[in-house]
Every structure is written in C-alpha cells, then in structure tokens.
C-alpha cells in the first residue's frame, strides 16, 4: 500500500484506526510529541487484542495504524495484531523511530514482522539523527525497498525554509532513486518540543460571521490512546487527555469496533468538526467560545454541554450527508496536512497501474 493510497482514505470517517501501542521508547528525541521514555506507560496487550478481535470480515477498518512511542518495542503484540487484522482484510501500517537500526543487523523477529506489514513508515529528522544515524536508517530501508516492500519516510523540520529539509530530502531522493515517498511536516510545540519551541497561535478574527468553515481532516480516524480510551482524532493533547467529552468515543477494553465506528460516524459534534471545523462551531453554536488556536478551540468547545443542543437541528438536516460527502471528496483531492512546498514528494514511487483504485 503506497502512502498516496493511505492518504486518499485519510478524510474517510472510520476508514482506519490508530492504536497507540505504548508510550515507551528507547530514544530520547528532543522534539518527541509523546514525551516518551523507556519507563512510560502502556496498556496490557489484551486491551488491544480484544479490540482487534472485534474486527470482522463484514465490518473492519481498512487500515490499522500501529504507533507509539515505539510500537516495535512490543513486537510480539504487533505480530499478533497483524495476524488478526489480515485475517479479516484490514491492512496494517507500522510507524517506527528505527531504534533497531543502530544494531549491525535487524533482530530476526522485528525483521520478520516488518516483512508482513502493508506499509512501513520510518521517522527521520535532525532530532532522530542524533539517536540513530541516517546511514543506518537508510541501510535498513534499502533492504525493504529492494525486496519490494511499501515504505515511506516521515520527515519534520522547523518550517518550509529549514535548510535541513532541503538537504535530507535531496539525500533521500538520490539514495533511493525516487522510489520512497516522503511526508514532510512541521515540528509542533507539543511534548518535549514545548520546552524549547515557541509557536505563534493562529489568532481568530472576532467578527463571528466572517469565520469561514475550516473542516478538520484529522477527526476522521479514531485513535486508541495510551490509556485505552478511544478518541475521535490523533491530536496529541486529545490522545494524552484529559479527553474532551465530545471527542471521546469509548474504550478499547469494553467497546467493539462496530460501536466505535458507529459513534465516529454519528456523533453530532465530531461530524460538525469534520464539516465546519472548530472555529466556526465555536462562533456559531457555542456562544463565542473560540480561543487562540484551532485545536485549542476544539478542546474548549468539546466540553461545552450546550453545543450539542445547538448543533442537533443543523446536523439532522436532510442535506447534511450530501455536504459531508462533498467535503470529504474535496479533502481527498488534497490532504492539506504537512508542508505545502513538499507535498509532491508523497507521490514518489507511485505506480498507479499496479494498484487498485482507492476512493473510500
Ligand atoms: S480540531 Fe479537534 S478533532 Fe480536529 S485535530 Fe484538533 S482537536 Fe482533533
């Protein structure tokens, strides 16, 4: 599965689910959004296995995204989840910081598990490079690419003008002869980066009727958080908790996939965030509850008990599903996350003639 095929599903509600398998990580990158350490928390394996057992051939996410911390610290759990997912037709993507690439050879179980995933994403940036040398990451990726496995690199920089980005992208493209797609994003002031990175919040205009809808594309895929709660998006503050009330979909220890999918599709608040975005919802339906920041506004509004009453007649309109479909199609045309300048790099290595059309 190519990165582009995965991104085509990104705006499709409940097309995939994230499992935050562990907050633990053996690396200590300065920008770590999850503030991970080797001693960080994780849920028992049974919580994830039980939830994955509720996927069926008739009702399952298209993609299971396994992330952390460092997901491959729980390599046996990853293996068990892949077996369950594949048995019902769910594809699996693993995202890794590549700690194992520091060894001269990849440990056999990790090598075997990676060989069975449908897409493997490696993180590479100036902070990871202080922990795992680039040449060693490239050595492992070469093995995967040479045997025909779908891989991608997730690269972050301070902004579009960060000279590191131009240099590393050039190196990746030359090293892999443009066979490896790259997703380029900006470091955010969350987790450990909050201690050293200042980011200006986007200021809201204070004329309510001037606010245009700005749909949130990240409110489509549920995320099993580090504490087992299932939330409506992968925003780190939402995952870390406290989970805003209207973004909480359930818990992996007690709910099944069908229930979570249904809540993701039917929640009035989550549907409104997907179509209008938080600023518009705040100003129109939550008595001017907007504040600095896109997600900060969403958090604040998600705890407003009045907003659901205000949204009910709007979301219940017969035309709403048509509007939702149109918004989703527009987002599929262009998934807007990441640094725009480098958006074209997602297409590297894409060979559409070899792949099924993926429209969600
Ligand atoms: S706007 Fe809300 S739903 Fe979207 S990513 Fe931010 S917190 Fe999550």
Give the tens place of pLDDT for each residue, 183-226.
999 998 889 998 888 875 554 444 444 678 899 999 999 999 99
Query: What residue ranges define each of the domains in the chain, with the CATH number in brackets?
Result: 3-199+331-354 (3.20.20.70), 210-316 (no CATH)
**Distance from the alpha carbon of residue 214 to the mean position of ligand 1, in angstroms:** 11
Does the beta carbon of 98 lie inside 6 Å of ligand 1? no
Specify whether the backbone of 178 is left (phi greater than 0), alpha (psi in -120 to 50) or beta.
left
pLDDT of res. 207: 43
In this structure, what token pair is assigned to residue 290? 């907007």
Which of 176-185, 236-245, 278-287 is least confident? 278-287
Given the CA of residue 233, which atom of ligand 1 is nearest to it?
8
Closest residue CA from atom 6 of ligand 1: 295
Residue 92's nearest CA partner among 60, 117, 74 is: 117
In this structure, what token pair is assigned to residue 119? 């897409």
**Distance from the alpha carbon of residue 299 to the mean position of ligand 1, in angstroms:** 8
Closest residue CA from atom 7 of ligand 1: 295
Helix spans in the chain (H): 3-9, 45-53, 75-88, 108-116, 126-129, 134-146, 163-175, 236-240, 257-266, 268-275, 278-285, 294-302, 306-315, 320-333
pLDDT at 280 > cutoff 80: yes
In this structure, what token pair is assigned to residue 63? 């993609």
Residue by residue, DSSP assigns 127-182 as: HHHTTS-HHHHHHHHHHHHHTT--EEEEEEESSTT-HHHHHHHHHHHHHTTT-S-E
Go through 148-158 and write b for each residue having 16 or more CB atoms within 10 A of its CB, e for each that does not. ebbbbbbbbbb
Furthest-apart CA pair in the chain: how many Å?
61
- Give the CA count within 13 Å in the CB-facing half-sphere of 1: 21
Given the CA of residue 273, which atom of ligand 1 is nearest to it?
3
Which of 62-76, 89-103, 198-212, 270-284 is least confident? 198-212
Write down the pTM of the prediction. Answer: 0.93
Given the CA of residue 217, which atom of ligand 1 is nearest to it?
4
Quote the CA–CA distance of 161 and 231 in Å, as a whole number. Answer: 34
Q: Name the pLDDT band for 233 (thresholds 50, 70, 90).
A: very high
Mean pLDDT of 306-312: 93
Quote the CA–CA distance of 63 and 69 in Å, as a whole number. Answer: 19
Quote the CA–CA distance of 183 and 87 in Å, as a whole number. Answer: 29
Residue to mutate, 33, 233, 296, ligand 1, most ligand atoms under 8 Å from C-beta? 233
Closest residue CA from atom 3 of ligand 1: 219
Residue 48's nearest CA partner among 221, 227, 218, 220 is: 227
Does the beta carbon of 216 lie inside 6 Å of ligand 1? yes
Per the CB < 8 A criterion, the answer to whether 20 and 69 are in contact is yes
Given the CA of residue 219, which atom of ligand 1 is nearest to it?
3
Does the beta carbon of 230 lie inside 6 Å of ligand 1? no
Residue 184: exposure state from Cβ atoms within 10 A (0-12, 13-18, ≥19): buried
Q: What is the pLDDT of residues 123-166, one digit of tens each?
A: 999 999 999 999 999 999 999 999 999 999 999 999 999 999 99
């Amino acid at each position: 599965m190519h990165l582009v095929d995965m991104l085509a599903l990104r705006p499709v509600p409940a097309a995939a689910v994230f499992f935050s398998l562990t907050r633990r990580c053996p690396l200590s990158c300065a920008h770590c959004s999850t503030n991970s350490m080797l001693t960080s928390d994780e849920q028992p394996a049974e919580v994830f296995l039980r939830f994955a057992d509720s996927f069926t051939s008739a009702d399952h996410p298209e993609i299971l995204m396994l992330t952390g911390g460092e997901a491959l610290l729980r390599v046996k759990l990853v293996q068990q989840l892949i077996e369950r997912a594949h048995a019902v037709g769910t594809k699996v993507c693993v995202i890794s910081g590549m700690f194992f690439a520091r060894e001269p050879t990849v440990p056999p179980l990790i090598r075997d598990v990676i060989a069975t995933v449908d897409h493997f994403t490696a993180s590479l940036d100036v902070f990871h490079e202080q922990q795992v040398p680039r040449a060693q990451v490239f050595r492992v990726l070469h093995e995967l690419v040479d045997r025909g496995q779908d891989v991608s690199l997730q690269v972050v920089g301070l902004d579009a003008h960060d000279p590191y980005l131009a240099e590393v992208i050039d190196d990746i493209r030359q090293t892999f002869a443009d066979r490896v797609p790259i997703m380029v994003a900006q470091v955010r002031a969350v987790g450990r980066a909050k201690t050293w990175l200042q980011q200006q919040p986007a200021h809201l205009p204070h004329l309510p009727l001037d606010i245009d809808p700005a749909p949130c594309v990240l409110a489509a895929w549920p995320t099993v958080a580090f504490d087992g709660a299932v939330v409506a998006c992968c925003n780190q503050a939402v995952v870390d908790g406290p989970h805003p009330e209207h973004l909480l979909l359930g818990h992996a220890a007690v709910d099944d996939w069908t229930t979570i999918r249904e809540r993701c599709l039917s929640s009035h608040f989550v549907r409104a965030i997907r179509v209008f975005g938080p600023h518009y919802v705040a100003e129109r339906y939550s008595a001017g509850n907007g504040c600095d920041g896109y997600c900060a506004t969403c958090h604040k509004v998600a705890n407003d008990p009045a907003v659901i009453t205000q949204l009910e007649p709007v979301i219940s309109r017969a035309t709403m599903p048509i509007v939702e479909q149109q918004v989703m199609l527009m987002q599929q045309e262009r998934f807007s996350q990441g640094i725009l300048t480098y958006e074209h790099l997602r297409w590297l290595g894409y060979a559409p003639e070899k792949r099924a059309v993926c429209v969600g």
